[in-house]
Structure 1
């Protein structure tokens, strides 16, 4: 007999309450093995690939790509005993669209059978906990069965469509001549709607004209289900084009952007910010950097000015530990940290994230340079994991890479200070009474005035500046 198990959306990071389904790597009828990646989700911190805890045959996908669901909501059902009476793949292809439980945005979790709940044992390292954070249920009308359900799905699918913007990963758009005898698509210029290469191949194999379909995926992407419905003669008609709205483009607030906004608002209106500025002649540092780059010890290492800044911060924190502390409002305590988990603000396609260099105070300049290079590459590829972005103690935001001189950064929640490292420019500078062209940059330190006084903030900023102006000063610390 078949044995069905539902896979709930796990809590991949402490405190996660919801996540968006970015893309499915399987479809109903596919055989899966233990630890096979089946879905990619986006949390408030990062994109995460989830493996399947069981081996078997996928029988149903409960949510669509682009849908946001709560932790604990079943997203996938697997028949772990397919040799009993496994349904064939053809009978399962329509399960995503026909099942009432899979209707997107209906606001309710898909219940799992009671007997099944006791057996669900997600893989070690993630899984919904009994004490998972709970959210207020989303409001949304229940979707009835039958013809009304199909009409409701059309309405909900339209809500998933996005205005023109960056294409989802793996999606292609191309311009092809219309096939002979094809009905006019109504799309200007003969553009084919967005679809991933495997979906485009499926449409070609089934003889389905993509121009006649309305995509149900994020940003109007055509999915395998859309193509299969069209082949079966049950495809939805393309939605009428929306009226012009004066060039506006609306994007839902979610994922990394939503988390960043909440954190910044909380910090700005909780911690009293003070920002101080310092302009530094870093010519000696840049000359020292060139000497190190040509040395055997640093051969093959990407030695950036940011690495020098990170080292200077780690050294200066030892002299002013208040900037590496945290204000515990609930316990009415100041928590001083003997370690430095250095956050580096990184701009990624998904938004601003702040991965950490753990125990930066114990790393040499070379080790810091290597850690920063690895951190940056991981963030650029969108592979930074949630665990790599928590428990920071101090943050550096390198605005100089954008050609910006400085700014007034907002402190990350749970920390007491953040340093903005500005662009290094050739600037007229007075040296021994004479004007010379020197390498100059600006620093801006924002600190929480509840636990960092003006004197402490000023001394820390002056120490960082002195170390960047003359790295030999480190010998005196």
Structure 2
């Protein structure tokens, strides 16, 4: 039987094969994880819809595989139960159902009746789950018996460093092991030599330096064994590069900046953190900037639009899916907060924390990482005053938040030390004129200078 790459959601046309967890000749069980693929910057573990023996691997790590293309050939066991029809599979126990969202054992779309039956069926398996279906926090299919639950990135890292996942206590959703859980294990296994963790495809083994030689004077400094290290362009880096090239080539971009007094906003944040309504939440300046941005977008709908080249139309969105740029170990990810225009400041805090956590742990789904209409990037966390980010394709603008620092500032005609930050806006000049972009940015700055005015905009 051939297992073909299914549509993993959002109508994506292809996926990149990251790694195989099986080899030719291996025996696989139904729903056993056999591969990891990456699509729309989300890494997904693929379970096998057949039980049998691996006859042939039809794609190699790094290959871009179209949806519907064959990935692997499985010699199905004589037990016909492993290849039963879709509707019959729904009646099987929960641990024997195919787990790819919307697909049954034959890789064909599951009927509405079958989906309803699957949804209504009780979850008999309460073991920790790994990414790839629609479970809590983006963690779906049950781990096969004897396999520890882990995110795909953590599973691959564990193989690289020789750590038994069963011996690691997971801190992820439902006890899944994450990359962060393996940090200490790796340092312990390598002694005093700490090698950077790579969650993308590793470079060739010979590029890893040996024990660092001693320099003159007795000071030890690592000297690479090779003069160059070549790493395949793959995964998040490959997809980010494609998006940025498309942005630079096809979007005529302009930028504008404003430096603003953030003191009142800092005082408001400090006050709110001490209130019961924000107990247990991470209330950051980014959340308040997001709330001010959402309020300003109401007055400037052109900032929340898109250019449809095919139909020669400007598409104005009457909803905001707010993208938040996150620096994850795998690269830059932009999860989007769906319907963010309806979220309160408290809800924004919770959603930003949740989505950033999913992105950093590698458990964000393709749906989490697509569909954004406006993006905020916070370069201030790196101590940078400002930046000129590129507009994401399909959006009209991106807001850049710089570092918030105490600086000399003229306040009420006197020199004072105030909290100050710089906001930057990059925008698609086909959609947004310089006047519109500048007025929008000034509106956001004004709301942050006097954040109590947000009370009338929520």
Normalised-by-shorter TM-score class? 0.5 to 0.7
Aligned counterpart, 1:266: 246
Once the two structures are superposed, the pairs formed by residues 124-203 of structure 1 within 5 Å of their partners are 124=110, 169-172=157-160
> Which runs of 4 or more aligned residues in structure 1 lie more than 6 Å from their structure 2 counterparts after TM superposition?
none
Deviation readout 1:50-69 (Å, 9 max, x if unpaired): 12223x22333515763425
Aligned counterpart, 1:105: none
Structure 1 residues 364 and 27 mapped into 2: Cα distance closer, same or farther (>3 Å)? farther
Are the aligned partners of 1:343 and 1:396 in contact in 2 as well (CA < 8 Å)? yes
Aligned counterpart, 2:12: 15
Which residue of 53, 57, 60 maps to 2:55? 60
Aligned counterpart, 1:409: 389
Task: Report the Cα distance in structure 1 between the residues aligned to 2:382 and 2:440, rounded to whole angstroms.
Answer: 25
What 5-or-longer segments of structure 1 have no aligned partner?
Answer: 87-118, 126-166, 175-196, 198-216, 223-243
Aligned counterpart, 1:396: 376
3-state SS of the aligned residue for 1:169? helix
Structure 1 residues 453 and 219 mapped into 2: Cα distance closer, same or farther (>3 Å)? closer
Deviation readout 1:367-394 (Å, 9 max, x if unpaired): 0100000011111111111121222110
Once the two structures are superposed, the pairs formed by residues 216-365 of structure 1 within 5 Å of their partners are 219=203, 247-365=227-345
Deviation at 1:21, TM superposition (A): 3.0
Task: Report the Cα distance in structure 1 between the residues aligned to 2:449 and 2:266, rounded to whole angstroms.
Answer: 9
Are the aligned partners of 2:203 and 2:230 in contact in 1 as well (CA < 8 Å)? no
Deviation readout 1:256-305 (Å, 9 max, x if unpaired): 21221121121122221110001111111111111111101110111111
Task: Report the Cα distance in structure 2 between the residues aligned to 1:24 and 1:363, rounded to whole angstroms.
Answer: 41
Q: TM-score, normalised by structure 1?
A: 0.65
Aligned counterpart, 2:358: 378
Aligned counterpart, 1:132: none
Deviation at 1:248, TM superposition (A): 1.8
Deviation readout 1:165-199 (Å, 9 max, x if unpaired): xx96114559xxxxxxxxxxxxxxxxxxxxxx9xx
Aligned counterpart, 2:367: 387
Deviation at 1:430, TM superposition (A): 1.1
RMSD of aligned residue pairs (Cα, Å)? 2.9
Q: Which moved more, 1:314-323 or 1:267-276?
A: 267-276
Aligned counterpart, 2:428: 448
Deviation at 1:420, TM superposition (A): 0.4
Aligned counterpart, 2:46: 50
Deviation at 1:429, TM superposition (A): 0.9
Aligned counterpart, 1:120: 106
What 5-or-longer segments of structure 2 have no aligned partner?
Answer: 83-104, 112-154, 163-184, 186-200, 207-223
Aligned counterpart, 1:423: 403
Deviation readout 1:403-449 (Å, 9 max, x if unpaired): 11111111000110000011111111111122211111110001111
Task: Report the Cα distance in structure 1 between the residues aligned to 2:279 and 2:23, rounded to whole angstroms.
Answer: 44
Task: Report the Cα distance in structure 2 between the residues aligned to 1:311 and 1:27, rounded to whole angstroms.
Answer: 53
Are residue 30 (structure 1) and residue 16 (structure 2) matched? no
Greater Rg by CA = 1
Aligned counterpart, 2:172: none
3-state SS of the aligned residue for 1:269? helix
Matched residues, number: 336
Q: Which moved more, 1:428-437 or 1:287-296?
A: 428-437
Are the aligned partners of 1:340 and 1:359 in contact in 2 as well (CA < 8 Å)? yes
Aligned counterpart, 2:135: none
Task: Report the Cα distance in structure 1 between the residues aligned to 2:290 and 2:23, rounded to whole angstroms.
Answer: 43
Aligned counterpart, 2:218: none
3-state SS of the aligned residue for 1:459? helix
Q: TM-score, normalised by structure 2?
A: 0.67
Deviation at 1:18, TM superposition (A): 4.0
Are the aligned partners of 2:42 and 2:369 in contact in 1 as well (CA < 8 Å)? no
Structure 1 residues 443 and 30 mapped into 2: Cα distance closer, same or farther (>3 Å)? same
